[in-house]
Structure 1
């Protein structure tokens, strides 16, 4: 809008509308795209805490008496099984979060997360 004001007949200052209009169109398109990306980022926002971990698959390590460790989301977590003990190297599904311990169980048919 400011550029349109300058395109009038002001003394010594003149902006060609053939330059202003394409630049304005590009700025509007970029603003709309950035707005859409921001809205999508908010809608697909990652969950933290238990809701972001429950349902994920992990590989169990250092398993002893139903307790072990698993690497998930860049962090080593303590694990314990909700049912019978699982062997080391087994794939398990996170069903709950008890403090800083993941509660896991064997994956069900069709688990692929």
Structure 2
């Protein structure tokens, strides 16, 4: 009987510690892990893949600022969105407080577009 109580106690302690092991990291930790050794000069695809890199580009026209018929030019204000998947910037969301996307400042990590 004493062994059963002791075994039950160990099982409860193990279960509680297992629940505590599910600590998630912060978005700060995610940025640190992703960009610690990131090189923006490498094409963002898997090393073994010869598949083309798919890039989605969208232009959102905000305003037409000027139209010059004589010079056949126009000036606009627009928002350009460029999206691609970089296989070296993939993480498991559950490990980082369910974060599924992050914002990255281009200049902060020496990235170029």
TM over 0.5: no
Q: TM-score, normalised by structure 1?
A: 0.34
Q: Which has the larger radius of gyration?
A: 1
Higher relative contact order (CA 8 A, sep 6+): 2
